[in-house]
């Protein structure tokens, strides 16, 4: 019975992670545009909305932000650089986020974890860039597939 309950919880979390980000904005007032640059210099114009989690939004637009732990603050594969003009508009990183970032390769002073960024109207025009590489904490080479 306990195992069934745990399985149910896992299924629910898989179903709901990122579901909101697949909904289109209901009005232009809700729209928050983001430009994501990848390590090869490609730019992706991502049309998000207030409340979107940047990691899940990036997955919807097929941007290569990995997010191995599904936003549970247990990896650094959603590492990004935030354009300096937007850095102060973000809430301060928590201690856990800071600790994880300390383990991220190619760390910079404008590094953040993409899964911790929730869009609001002030962030319209946000520019972020993916680092040259991220570090996956899985020791067996496993790469989780997006939900």
Q: Which residues contact ligand FES (rule: CB under 6 A)?
A: 55, 67-69, 71, 73-75, 77-78, 100, 113, 115
Closest CB to ligand FES among residues 31, 64: 64
CB-based closest residue to ligand FES: 115
Phi first, then psi: give them for residue 135, nearest 5 degrees.
-110, 120
Closest CB to ligand FES among residues 30, 110: 110
Phi first, then psi: give them for residue 3, nearest 5 degrees.
-65, -35
Calpha distance 29→20 (Å, rounded): 17
Closest contact distance (angstroms) between CB of 130 and ligand FES is 13
Q: Label residue 46 exposed, middle or buried (CB < 10 Å: 0-12, 13-18, 19+).
A: buried
Closest contact distance (angstroms) between CB of 74 and ligand FES is 6
């Amino acid at each position: 019975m306990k195992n069934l309950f745990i399985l149910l919880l896992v299924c629910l979390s898989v179903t709901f992670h990122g579901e909101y980000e697949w909904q289109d904005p209901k009005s232009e007032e809700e729209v928050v545009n983001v430009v994501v640059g990848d390590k090869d210099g490609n730019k992706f114009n991502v049309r998000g909305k207030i409340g979107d989690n940047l990691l899940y939004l990036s997955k919807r637009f097929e941007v290569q932000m990995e997010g191995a732990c599904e936003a549970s603050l247990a990896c650094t594969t959603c590492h990004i650089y935030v354009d300096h003009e937007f850095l102060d508009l973000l809430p301060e990183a928590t201690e856990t986020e800071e600790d994880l970032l300390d383990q991220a390769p190619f760390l910079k002073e404008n590094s953040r974890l993409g899964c911790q960024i929730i869009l609001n109207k002030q962030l319209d025009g946000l520019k972020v860039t993916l680092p040259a590489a991220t570090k996956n904490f899985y020791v067996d080479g496993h790469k989780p597939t997006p939900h």
